[in-house]
A and B are shown apart, each in its own frame.
Chain A
């Protein structure tokens, strides 16, 4: 795991540099939003990474409920935490875009509202994890992880379910310049690799934490 991180860290640094170079030097300036459109590369890539992170949480939550292995619970929690970080980025960068594009920081539009609900649900996931004791914590948070994931397709298809003029409706054919499309694909790939690195780092931390908890419990039992 440590070796993997040592290889991936320089790789992600290079990819981040390249992403910024592509965003500012290679990608054309979009005609309607001009420079502000460059927020899109990070905003949309972060949103896609949120889907991935909560998807990983969903898969490992199911796996935990089936196999009852602690490592699955730790991986699920790590993915949810990183998903929450990316979701925070989406919710913070979105209003900056919105202020320029729609002249308002926030509007109760379908996708914005469903994304906020998604964020709140995963906040609830961590509140629950911290409130319960070890065994209950794993089972209940796995169940909540599965329930919370239902909101992901709702966020993705929100523009289809509810009429909205702000985010483009799914299936809308947008004419995107090749430089913009290629740059976005590259940034998305970078974010996915970043997610993997953060997942490994967070998983290691959580594993150390659970090891510490186990030793501490053993010590307390010996003393008592």
Chain B
């Protein structure tokens, strides 16, 4: 049972690690995109600042949306993992309690047998 719990913990950690690996769009890439956009659409010099602001705003919006989606995704996976873990712990605990009770009964049995022999 412990192995299952350890393995599942590792799975969840891997999962969280994977979801954290979403690459953020770096400043360099944003600048590159702006330059590319300017060369294609022949933006006038006075509009360059406005274009840069617009691209940055869009990138920020996209990243914010992605963060929101990932929050939902991680929340769902965590909830599922938690339900499984609680259930496995419950089975483990139940089995342990029963084993203890059975051992106790067997012990009582042997005590009674010894007394009757005496």
CB distance from B10 to the nearest CB of A (A): 8
Q: Chain B residues with Cβ under 8 A from A24's Cβ?
A: 15, 18-19
Asked whether any CB of chain A lies closer than 8 Å to the CB of B58, the reply is no
A219, B76: Cβ atoms closer than 8 Å: no
B76, A17: Cβ atoms closer than 8 Å: no
B66, A35: Cβ atoms closer than 8 Å: yes
- In the complex, which of the residues A20, A35, A85, A201 contacts B14, with contact meaning CB atoms closer than 8 Å? A20
- State the interface size on chain A (CB cutoff 8 A): 36
Please report the C-alpha to C-alpha distance between residue A215 and residue B107 in the assembled complex, in whole angstroms: 13
Q: Chain A residues with Cβ under 8 A from B50's Cβ?
A: none
Check A100/B72 contact, CB under 8 A, given A16-B8, A208-B102. yes
- In the complex, which of the residues B3, B14, B105 contacts A219, with contact meaning CB atoms closer than 8 Å? B105
B72, A208: Cβ atoms closer than 8 Å: no
Interface positions, chain A 121-137, Cβ under 8 Å from B, are: none
Contact with B along A20-57 (1 / 0, CB 8 A): 10001100000000111011001100100000000000
Binds B, one of A62-70, A88-96, A160-168: A88-96
Q: Which residues of B contact A (CB under 8 A)?
A: 3-4, 7-8, 11, 14-15, 18-19, 66, 68-70, 72-73, 75-77, 79-80, 83-84, 87, 91, 94-95, 98-99, 101-102, 105, 108
Asked whether any CB of chain B lies closer than 8 Å to the CB of A99, the reply is yes
Q: 16 more A-B contacts (CB under 8 A) besides A17-B11, A36-B69, A201-B91? A: A13-B11, A16-B11, A24-B18, A39-B73, A39-B77, A85-B84, A89-B84, A97-B72, A202-B91, A204-B95, A205-B95, A208-B99, A211-B102, A212-B98, A212-B101, A215-B105
Sample of 26 A–B contacts (CB below 8 Å): A24-B18, A34-B66, A35-B66, A36-B69, A39-B73, A43-B76, A85-B83, A85-B87, A92-B79, A96-B79, A97-B76, A100-B68, A100-B72, A198-B87, A201-B91, A204-B95, A205-B91, A205-B94, A205-B98, A208-B99, A208-B102, A209-B98, A212-B101, A212-B102, A212-B105, A219-B108
